[in-house]
Structure 1
């Protein structure tokens, strides 16, 4: 029995290490360097100006990007689930096939951003400016919620948040 528990403990610690954030990769991004495919779990990137940064394919789950400016950034295929994007600016950024499940996009600006295939299930887009965003579909918005100040491309709507 002790041997089985030891094996389970080793397996669980190895699994946890595989998902832990990488402080050196987070520091690179905080310094403005691109880091595609990096593990940026719970990274603190709020209040930063990171134009053109490439974090495509990265893990930014539960990261804080509040009030940051990331114009022309590449978030393609990035896991941004449960991330805080409150009030951030993403002019011409690309979020193709990004996972924004449960993310907070309240008051964020997505002018000319590409949201093709982005997963918005459970996301709060209240007050977000998405009028000129491209690739946004009604089926994506059906899983999200917003409010009267949410600005969407013509013909699209979002249910109110409760």
Structure 2
């Protein structure tokens, strides 16, 4: 009595009936393996029928554990796709938390621990992460228009392809952070630490870097720098800067450029109206 494409004994072992013999099951079956494989659905049906006949216990795999949206903040929790908008949860312990696509719009997460948390595709519009610890956190593809990142510690964090227009990064610690392909129009980096930051292919139009601090190079290859404020910056070690980018940006007599690049005649730019 072949079962699917394998013998009955193999079917029992597959279903977790370890140690159950054919005689104990009260059945006499052929253990000869049938070499011609039947369809996967037929095999599964045969396994199920065999186990039902022998009284075996089937342990269903079941779906993966779902996010627990009703749980309180805790390290490593899973709030994937949960709605947590317009709430006050400052100082939350969310280290290593799974926050993929979580909606934190207008939520107060200030001074929270978000180290190594995964916030990919999370909604952070007008949210506050001021003073948060977010080293090596994943903010890739977040939507964070007008969000408050003031004083955040986000060394080594990933902001790739994030929507960060008009967000504030004043006094943020961003050493080694990745902003590749990020939208940073009118973002404010006043007194932020930008050592080793990658702005490759980022949109920095009207962003203010003029009072940022850094040691060593910042990477600007193919960044769009229309009216980007770089007054007073020493960019002599910057990587990826080209003359075309400098022509669009706003520097002044104190701006230092890499060798071979020259300040345009239009410097300095008029003051920027941050409200427009």
- TM beyond 0.5: yes
CA positional deviation for 1:136: 4.6
- After superposition, residues 78-97 of structure 1 pair within 5 angstroms as 78-97=167-186
Task: Give the whole-Å Cα distance in 1 for the aligned partners of 2:140 and 2:233.
Answer: 27
How far 1:90 sits from its partner (Å)?
1.2
Moved over 3 A (4+): 20-25, 27-31
Q: TM-score, normalised by structure 1?
A: 0.74
Q: Closer, same or farther in 2 for the Cα pair 1:143/1:75, shift >3 Å?
A: farther
Aligned counterparts of 1:28 and 1:43: Cα–Cα separation in 2: 6
Report the equivalent of 1:35.
Answer: 124
Match for 1:128 among 196, 205, 218? 218
Q: Deviations over 1:127-148 (max 9, x none)?
A: 11012111254x6112333442
- By relative contact order (CA 8 Å, sep 6+), the higher-ranking structure is 1
SS in 1 for 2:229: helix
Aligned length: 139
Q: Distance in 1 between matches of 2:150 and 2:89?
A: 10
Give the corresponding residue for 2:242.
Answer: 154
Q: CA offsets, 1:53-101, max 9 Å, x none?
A: 1222011111112101121111111111111111111111011001111
More helix per residue: 1 or 2?
1
Gaps of 5+ in 2: 1-87, 93-107, 258-276
Task: Give the TM-score, by structure 2 length.
Answer: 0.45
Q: Deviations over 1:108-140 (max 9, x none)?
A: 111110000111121125411012111254x61
Partner residue in 2 for 1:111: 200
Which runs of 5 or more structure 1 residues have no equivalent in the other structure? 1-19
Match for residue 22 of structure 1?
90
Q: State the superposition RMSD in angstroms.
A: 2.6
Once the two structures are overlaid, the 10-residue window that deviates more, 30-39 or 112-121, is 30-39
Larger radius of gyration: 2
Preserved contact between residue 190 and residue 209 of structure 2 (Cα < 8 Å): yes
